Chains A and B, each alone.
Chain A
Amino acid sequence: MNDTIVKSITRLVIPFVQVYGIFIILNGHVSPGGGFSGGALLGTSLILYTLVFGAIKAKHKFSHKASEIAESGGILIFVTVGLIAIFVGMPFLTNLAAGFPAGSAGAILSAGMIPIIMIGIGIKVASTMITLFHKLIEEVIQ
């Protein structure tokens, strides 16, 4: 797409979408939202970039290698935090009973491990959305 207006608006909008996605991920345990919704928003911002600036430039921004690392890293955060509870002697993904600090209700740093898990899910969902779209689009271009 070689339109100046679309390109300028996209450059203007993408940071706001990404900040909103990160906000939703980090506030997942105190307000509506969470890892899945915020990750989907983060993925949508890069899909918008792909649509406007083309798949080759987008591949440069978020390569296959980066998506591999993000996807494996996201699920590894989830599993590692879940396994901490097993080492303490509790079932998988036990939260407060396994010794995670509760914090004060309503604060960002509260609810034990939930914020960490949300960040992991957010990274994984965002990279999955982008990879799905890139995989579908790349055969059309070649």
Chain B
Amino acid sequence: MQLFNVLLVVFLVVCAIAVERTKDLLSAIIIFSAYSLMMSLLWLILKAPDVALTEAAIGAGVTSLLFFAVISKTKRYEK
């Protein structure tokens, strides 16, 4: 369980850095979605199922969809 927790946190940090480093905004959104999913699992491990549920629905679902909608109106690549 401890190893799983450490793995999740490491993946979380990697995702957070990768979101900031990517130039392709579409990939950045997908990485951000993965970050949200990891965060949701971490909330579950921290015994906050309420927050985990909201994070999975809002963070991984609705936020990325709204970002996709915004990208379809602007440009895909960061300058």
Interface residues of A, Cβ cutoff 8 Å to B: 24, 32-34, 36-37, 40-41, 43-44, 47, 51, 129, 132-133, 136-137, 139-140
Contact = CB atoms under 8 A, between A and B. Distances in A.
A133 B54 CA distance: 18
A124 to B, nearest CB: 15
Nearest to B49: A32
Contacts, number: 43
B38 to A, nearest CB: 19
Contacts of A37: 50, 53-54, 57
Contacts of B6: none
A40 B72 CA distance: 23
Given A136-B66, A136-B69, A140-B73, A40 B61 contact: yes
Contacts of B62: 40, 43-44, 47, 129, 133
B69 A133 contact: yes
A132 to B, nearest CB: 7
Interface residues of B, number: 14
Contacts of A32: 49-50, 53
A13 to B, nearest CB: 13
Contacts of B53: 24, 32-33, 37
A114 B40 CA distance: 26
Interface string B50-79: 100110011001100110011011000000
A43 B54 CA distance: 13
A133 B66 CA distance: 6
Contact of A41 (B57, B72, B73): B57
Contacts of A33: 50, 53
